[in-house]
Amino acid sequence: MAVTGIGLVSPVGSRPAEVFAAACDGWSGASRPPEDHPLHGLLDVAAFAPDIDPASVLPATEARFVDRAIVMALRAAEDALADAGLEVGRDVDPFRIAVVVSGVGGLALFEEQANLYARKGRLGVSPYLLPGVLPNMAAARIAIKFGIQGYATSAGTACAAGAQSVGDALRILRAGEADVVLAGCSEAPLFPTFASAFTNARALAHGWADPAEASRPFDRRRNGLVLGEGAGVLVLERPEHARARGAAHYAEVLGWGATTDAYHPTAPRPDGSAAARCMQLALRDAGLEPGDIGYLNAHGTSTKAGDAAELRAISAVFGTASPPVSSTKGVTGHMLGTSGVIEAAIGMQALQRGLLPPTANLDDPDPDPDVDHIRKAARTARPRAVLSNSFGFGGHNVSLVLASPGPAGNDPAGNDPAANDSTGNDPGGDGSARNNSAGGER
């Protein structure tokens, strides 16, 4: 299925080309919490997304009672639709477009209201708390804002939720239940209670003099993840629908797989067997063999157990013929479920531009001779297809297979691949050569 639009809110940029450039250059979005931030003194390092005025995406009367996760989701959806040049009601029947946008959502608002209850009692709590914390509300708010009347839902698979949303979108489109799906995730975990839980679980990176060095997937000196925030929404379309409206596209989602570790609420299965099976299912769904994968964007969060289990899974699937592997969380931090969407977007840019981003801060890899780590600098290559992994608490595993027009997949929109040279010769520098219906540079 064709990906015709991308909308991102991340610690390293909001345009696909910006995020990809940061990943390739190893430019980190990690920093110390500012003195005026509630996390100052509570968290050593985090990856903050830009502030968005809620009134820029919602009526002013509603904006003050909406959680940051919903605000970011609305901005990402708005940008994705604009990028795709798609207007609901003009380009697609409102009942033939679906929304699958996920994320924990609402917890910062809940904390704020709980504090008001502690100070003022029952009358201090806003009735708007209810629609502010329900997990479906990012999807619902997007549907309301853009007049989408088709299927709308969210996935509750923790850090796999963004990739799960893309997989669910693929399933909906294949079943003919919609012509277009907005698929994505939004996460805003950078507030005291939630961040403290991660700190007390000893899951966060700490003790680094330079915050940019704190997230170091697969490196022996890693001591935890860098908690981040952000949102990502993709516009997926059925090939004939994209073709009919002349829409160009970034790539196509060729297949996906999902498994469950059935092992522990937070720890991964150490041998990586269920994660390996997930990758194998994704390859089977895409009709590809392991040797067809030219780049693997790993889940790689910079935790001891998680990274080790994923390396075992990769070795189990690819043996001694590992594709080039990197985790871009070395620059973005771990944005929970959003990571899977943004990493899929990075994989699409890798397909287009013929450049594979490295794992930042990977100075001394875990001993595993079978895995071909991309280190120090981006690598020039023209992958036939990309595999993107996302694994979450509860043992949820999701893998996506992405391909550009050519041998690994069809060209759903009927484009000329030469319209955007995969070496990165994009005249607009932001994908504008990819999509001339988006209205110019954004």
User: Catalytic residue numbers?
Assistant: 159, 299, 334
Q: Quote the CA–CA distance of 160 and 321 in Å, as a whole number.
A: 26
Reference 174, options 270, 239, 91, 99; nearest CA is: 239
Reference 237, options 13, 398, 367, 414; nearest CA is: 414
Please report how many Cα atoms fall inside a 13 Å half-sphere around the Cα of residue 58, on the Cβ side: 22
- Phi, psi (deg, nearest 5) at residue 215: -90, 115
Q: Quote the CA–CA distance of 72 and 187 in Å, as a whole number.
A: 8
Q: Which two tokens stand for residue 323?
A: 């594709």
Give whole-number Cα distances, 259 to 276, 390, 395, 403, in Å. 9, 11, 8, 22
- Is 152 strand, coil or helix? strand
Q: Quote the CA–CA distance of 387 and 290 in Å, as a whole number.
A: 10
Reference 434, options 75, 9, 77, 20; nearest CA is: 20
Give whole-number Cα distances, 186 to 135, 155, 200, 337, in Å. 11, 11, 24, 7
Q: Quote the CA–CA distance of 25 and 35 in Å, as a whole number.
A: 28
- Spacing of C-alpha 191 from chain mean position: 20
Q: Which two tokens stand for residue 110?
A: 């809940």
- Is 186 strand, coil or helix? strand
Residues 6+ apart with CB under 8 A from 421: none
Q: Which two tokens stand for residue 321?
A: 């013929």
Matching residue, tokens 């509860």: 394
Asked if 85 and 442 count as a contact pair (C-beta separation under 8 A), the reply is no
Asked if 235 and 84 count as a contact pair (C-beta separation under 8 A), the reply is yes
DSSP 122-151: GGGS-TTHHHHH-TTHHHHHHHHHHT--S-
Three-state SS string over 303-349 comes to CHHHHHHHHHHHHHHHCCCCCEEECCHHHHCECCCHHHHHHHHHHHH
